[in-house]
Amino acid sequence: MNGLLKKTLSNPLSLAGFIIILAVLMLALLAPIIAPYDPNEINVKSILLGPSVAHWMGTDSLGRDVFSRMLYGGRISLLVGLVAVGISTAIGIVLGALAGYYRGWVDTVIMRLVDVMLSIPSFFLILAVIAFLPPSKINVMIVIGLTSWMGVTRLVRAEFLSLTEREFVQASRTLGARDARLIFRHLLPNSLTPIIVSSVLGVASAVLLESGLSFLGLGVQAPEASWGNILTDGKEYIQFAWWLSLFPGLAILVTVLGYNLLGEGLRDALDPRSTSNK
- pLDDT above 70 (res 1): no
Side-chain half-sphere CA neighbours of 3 within 13 A = 2
Tell me what percent of the residues of the chain surpass a pLDDT of 70: 94
Average pLDDT over residues 218-228: 84
Where is mean pLDDT largest: 41-55, 186-200, 218-232? Answer: 41-55
What pLDDT band is residue 70 in, cutting at 50, 70 and 90? very high
Which helix (DSSP H) or strand (DSSP E) does residue 109 occupy?
Answer: helix 104-118
| Per-residue pLDDT at 265 | 83
Determine the Cα angle at 252 with ends 229 and 130, to 5°: 50
Q: Which of 65, 64, 81, 62 is nearest to 24 (CA)?
A: 81
Burial 176-195 (b: 16+ CB within 10 A, else e): eeeeeebbeebbbeebebbb
Side-chain half-sphere CA neighbours of 151 within 13 A = 18
| Per-residue pLDDT at 169 | 74
Average pLDDT over residues 185-202: 85
State how far Cα 81 lies from the chain centre.
4
Instruction: Tell which CATH classification among 3.40.50.300, 3.40.47.10, 1.10.3720.10, 1.10.1500.10 matches the domain 2-31+63-277.
Output: 1.10.3720.10
Burial 98-125 (b: 16+ CB within 10 A, else e): bbbbeeeeebeebbeebeebeeeebeeb
What are the domain boundaries of the chain? 2-31+63-277
**What is the C-alpha separation between 41 and 118, in angstroms, rounded?**
43
Question: Of 24-33, 77-86, 97-106, 229-238, where does mean pLDDT reach its minimum?
Answer: 229-238
Judge whether 78 and 93 are in contact, CB under 8 Å: no
Question: Of 108-122, 205-219, 259-273, where does mean pLDDT reach its minimum?
Answer: 259-273
Where is mean pLDDT largest: 100-109, 190-199, 219-228? Answer: 100-109
| Per-residue pLDDT at 53 | 92
Per-residue pLDDT tens digits for 6-48? 777 777 888 888 999 999 999 999 999 999 999 999 988 889 9
Query: With the C-alpha atoms ordered 58, 226, 246, 231, is the resulting torsion angle positive or negative?
Result: negative
